[in-house]
């Protein structure tokens, strides 16, 4: 069974007298441990796709099954629970709490799971060590470099042991050297068995992934399928 299955997914917006077809009939399946990039220019539908996959928005029509559960008909509280249980988000702008330490930021998603403080701290420390920040746990975001802040964000996504890691332009605010380091970390996470979906407009980022889905005008323009190894650089 596919981890993610989209069938006939559409998302239409009314703009005055016009209807914008942000997604126009998407059929796609994502397997466990897939390493997939959605790529396309502005207006291609990739950001809407991210919102649908992340249960941040509902499709106009179609079916979305995530880990065997039909999610497109759920209410907002149920969608929020699915996001917390199933999806680890990694954003371009990091979205860290400025007054919380690295440890505090990574512990945050666990608060909603009724996990005790000692256990939350232990899980967050493990996640920070996994991304190479075991010595930066007490630092505030403004005391960290861009790459370190993104590592905190990745640790926060990992700490809940989600079904998928969903990254939105994860290197968009990073320099080229740090971009290479973060993509190497993603490569390692995939090798460990994580399912990664990256939304990007950069072909250099997409080339790290084992499968590239190109979007255009709200449709899948090309799907490279699954490969056993990344494209050679």
**What are the pLDDT digits (tens) for 20-42?**
999 999 999 999 999 999 999 98
- Mean pLDDT, rounded, of the chain: 92
pLDDT at 226 exceeding the cut of 70? no
Predicted confidence band at 231 (pLDDT cuts at 50, 70, 90)? very low
* Cα gap 81→59, rounded to integer Å: 18
pLDDT at 102 exceeding the cut of 70? yes
What was the pLDDT predicted at 1? 76
User: Can you give the length of the chain in residues?
Assistant: 233
pLDDT in tens, 5-22: 999 999 999 988 899 999
Q: What topology is assigned to 32-58+76-223 in CATH? A: Rossmann fold (3.40.50)
- Beta bridge partner(s), residue 30: 4
Predicted confidence band at 72 (pLDDT cuts at 50, 70, 90)? confident
Predicted confidence band at 174 (pLDDT cuts at 50, 70, 90)? very high
pLDDT at 228 exceeding the cut of 50? no
Q: Which pair of structure tokens corresponds to residue 156? A: 């926060």
> Largest alpha-carbon pair distance within the chain?
56
What is the model's pTM? 0.91
* Cα gap 95→15, rounded to integer Å: 29
* Cα gap 107→124, rounded to integer Å: 5
Predicted confidence band at 112 (pLDDT cuts at 50, 70, 90)? confident
Contact (CB, 8 A) for 56 and 91? no
Contact (CB, 8 A) for 132 and 140? no
């Amino acid at each position: 069974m596919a981890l993610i299955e989209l069938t006939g997914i559409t998302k239409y917006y009314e703009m005055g007298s016009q209807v914008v077809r942000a997604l126009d009939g998407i059929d796609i399946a994502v397997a466990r441990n897939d390493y997939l990039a959605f790529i396309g220019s502005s207006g291609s539908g990739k950001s809407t796709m991210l919102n649908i996959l992340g249960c941040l928005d509902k499709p106009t029509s179609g079916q979305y099954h995530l880990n065997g559960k039909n999610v497109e008909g759920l209410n907002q509280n149920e969608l929020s629970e699915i996001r917390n249980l199933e999806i680890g988000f990694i954003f371009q702008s990091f979205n860290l709490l400025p007054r919380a330490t690295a440890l505090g930021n990574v512990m945050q998603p666990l608060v909603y799971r009724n996990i005790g403080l000692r256990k939350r701290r232990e899980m967050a420390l493990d996640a920070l060590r996994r991304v190479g920040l075991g010595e930066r746990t007490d630092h505030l975001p403004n005391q960290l470099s861009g790459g370190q802040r993104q590592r905190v964000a990745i640790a926060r996504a990992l700490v809940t042991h989600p079904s998928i890691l969903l990254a939105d332009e994860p290197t968009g605010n990073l320099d080229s050297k740090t971009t290479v380091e973060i993509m190497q970390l993603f490569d390692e996470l995939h090798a460990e068995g994580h399912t990664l979906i990256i939304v990007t407009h950069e072909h250099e980022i997409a080339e790290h992934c084992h499968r590239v889905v190109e979007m255009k005008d709200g449709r899948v323009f090309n799907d490279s399928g699954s490969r056993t190894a990344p494209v050679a650089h």
